Amino acid sequence: MELGQKRYSSVAVALHWAIAILILSQIVGGLYMHNLPNSSAVKFDLYQLHKSFGLSILGLTIIRLGWRLAHKPPALPGSMPGWQKLTARLIHWAFYALMFLTPLAGLAMVSVSPLNVPTLWFGIVEIPHLPFFNGVADRAAAEDVFQEVHEYLAFSILFLLVLHVAAALKHGLINRDGVLRSMAPHMMAWVGMLAIAIVLGLSALFYIQSDPFQGEKSHSNGESHDHNHDAAPAAASPNVEAGASEAEALENEPAGEPLAVLGTDALSAETISTAAPSPVWAVDYAASTLRFIGEEGGARFEGQFSDFTAQIVFDPDNLAASSINVDVRTASAGSGSDFRDGAMKDGEWFDVKAHDSAHFTSSTIRKPGANAYEADGTLTIKDFSHDVTLVFSLGIDGDQASAAGGVDLIRTDYGLGMGASWLESEKVALAVRVEFEISAARAN
């Protein structure tokens, strides 16, 4: 028999090595992205690329299986014991099964997920979710099951891969029976692998540049971007102090409480002692907003608190006599998603039946720069209290004032969403962004 008949075809070799490289990349990349903090700016994109490359593996596996059935592979060496030949065939077909089942388990996981994030192959082609899960009652629990199955299958591939490499090296370095050479890449195989790499690379580049999920990851004009992500609130409150575990991107953002302290219904001068040495300010609720931005499954959403009151005594020339006190009715949090807004009221989150409001109070206000202020105070959510610093800018024109700012917080500091299902890294981010725009008039 000639050497050419002892080798796999160029197509089979190219598919073999392309799939092998993709699988190794998927395992390494999957572990990396899974361990990224929720606040990481790239985590959502990495998950989408992970799904795209997983679907690519599935597609290449279908092509490879079709080629395998149509083209007889070279025979194993006659000197090879029968049990080794049987083991080699079993591992070979086990690989095929795992290369089908692992991406399918991943697709099942996103199909049943209550977040309902669409699956786009490199942002180009939308892959429909599997239709078998419409009647599932507890979709979050089913998602957890498929996630665990997906991980077990991935590690099973890794285990078989170690056995496969060890056996190939034995045949190539010890037995020297030509088995290793039969799958070694040659010129046409390299061309095939290069073509596959170019197609997938260009697809990934297209995805990165087009950013098809921009609408889900951004927020603007006060609109809610839940996109049918029916998971619980991603820390939907201005109630969480920024901590040491925040993502590096948030490191330079001052930790503290949002300007919930300034959001209020109009106050009359009578609600504050007339003996106050500094002006009392009445906030124009209709012209003011207090927003929160959370993240579910890597996709951002936005909401706001519609009911809050404050007592504001503020004089930029007499900060020592200035103070801010606020109550925010947590039941007024709304984000445009009935599921999320209902969950925010439950005991896992704000527990509005037992704790109907959050409180912030501050009497220590500094001016670190022109029109820039910092208010040190205490924020209390449920039974949790922490020292926080409110950072905001303020402009005063006669009897009118406007303030704007924002702060990044960590929801678990206040016992929000502490259940295991809410702490899954892929679901509800710990980091919360709170932003505000406040308009007020001098009341005395």
pLDDT in tens, 15-28: 888 888 888 888 88
Instruction: Band the pLDDT of 420: cuts 50, 70, 90.
Output: low
What confidence score (pLDDT) does residue 327 get? 86
List 79's β-bridge partners, or say none: none
Look at residue 160 and tell me whether its pLDDT is greater than 80: yes
The amino acid that residue 3 corresponds to is L
* Homologous superfamily in CATH for domain 248-442: Lipid/polyisoprenoid-binding, YceI-like (2.40.128.110)
Q: Is the pLDDT of residue 406 over 50?
A: yes
**Backbone dihedral region for residue 228 (phi beyond 0: left; psi -120 to 50: alpha; all else: beta):** left
Q: What number is the average pLDDT over the span 413-436?
A: 76
Pairwise CA distance, residues 141 & 417, whole Å: 16
Cβ atoms of 407 and 262 closer than 8 Å: no
Bigger pLDDT: 432 vs 254: 432
The answer to whether the CB of 358 falls within 8 A of the CB of 351 is no
Under the banding of pLDDT at 50, 70 and 90, the label for residue 217 is: very low
For the chain, residues classed under CATH 2.40.128.110 are 248-442
pLDDT one-digit tens code per residue, 66-107: 988 888 878 777 777 888 888 888 888 898 899 999 999 998
Q: Is pLDDT above 60 for 126?
A: yes
Q: Over the chain, what is the mean pLDDT?
A: 74
Distance CA 199, CA 272 (A): 68
Domain with CATH 1.20.950 in the chain: 3-212
The predicted model scores a pTM of 0.46
Res 157 pLDDT > 70: yes
What mean pLDDT is predicted for residues 249-263?
A: 35
Determine what percent of the chain falls in helix, strand and coil, rounding each to the nearest 5: 45, 25, 35
Looking at residue 58, its pLDDT comes to 92
Angle at 441 between CA 436 and CA 444, to 5 degrees: 135
Residue 427 structure tokens = 């679901």
CATH assignment of 3-212, among 1.20.950, 1.20.120, 1.10.1220, 3.80.10: 1.20.950
Handedness of CA 387, 380, 344, 305 (dihedral sign): negative
pLDDT at residue number 431: 83
User: Residue 391 pLDDT > 80, yes or no?
Assistant: yes
Tell me the pLDDT band of 63, cut-offs 50, 70 and 90: very high
What average pLDDT score do residues 271-288 get? 69
Cα dihedral 378, 379, 384, 385 in deg (nearest 10): -10
What number is the average pLDDT over the span 324-347? Answer: 84
pLDDT at 200: 58
pLDDT of residue 187: 57
Cα atoms in the 13 Å half-sphere on the side-chain side of 85: 9
Residues 319 and 366: beta-carbon distance below 8 Å: yes
Q: Who contacts 206 (Cβ-Cβ below 8 Å, separation ≥6)?
A: 122, 123, 124
